[in-house]
Amino acid sequence: MVNFGYTTLPTHIHDMDKADLGLADSISFEDSSFNLCIACGSCTSTCTAGAFTNFSFRQMCHQIKRGENSQAIAESEKCMLCGKCTLACPRNVNTRNIIRLVRKANQTI
């Protein structure tokens, strides 16, 4: 390729034809409560870590569902596993388990 001295911006649309949904599939296979989120944000707003940094459990799950796995995995590290979000979730998403599954995916990558 000829170097023209500039690069194209990364795409700003979710290209679901190319998205890597492998992680989403494996998590929902291991713990189907992953699919139950209704994006109410209770987990994020009650989050102990979220008071200090821009960690959002809801967003992390959403990123995985859109194939943005590396961002999600990087985010998941900020969680303190305190379990408050589990108590807040109206859909009984097994949040701590999902964090562990995401962290495990980090180890295998």
**Least distance (Å) between residue 80 CB and other proteins:** 4
d(CA 71, CA 63): 7
**50-88 b/e with 16+ CB inside 10 Å = b?**
beeeebbbbbbbebbbbbbbeebbebbebbeeeebbbeb
Q: Which of residues 1-30 bind other proteins (CB under 8 A)?
A: none
Q: Residue 73: which of 49, 98, 43, 53 has the closest Cα? A: 98
24 or 93: whose CB is closer to other proteins? 93
Residue from 14, 25, 70, 90 that binds other proteins (CB under 8 A)? Answer: 90
Is 70 a residue that touches other proteins (CB under 8 A)?
no
> What residues make contact with other proteins under the rule CB under 8 A?
31, 33, 38-54, 56, 58-59, 77-78, 80-84, 87-92, 94, 96-97, 100, 103-104, 106-107
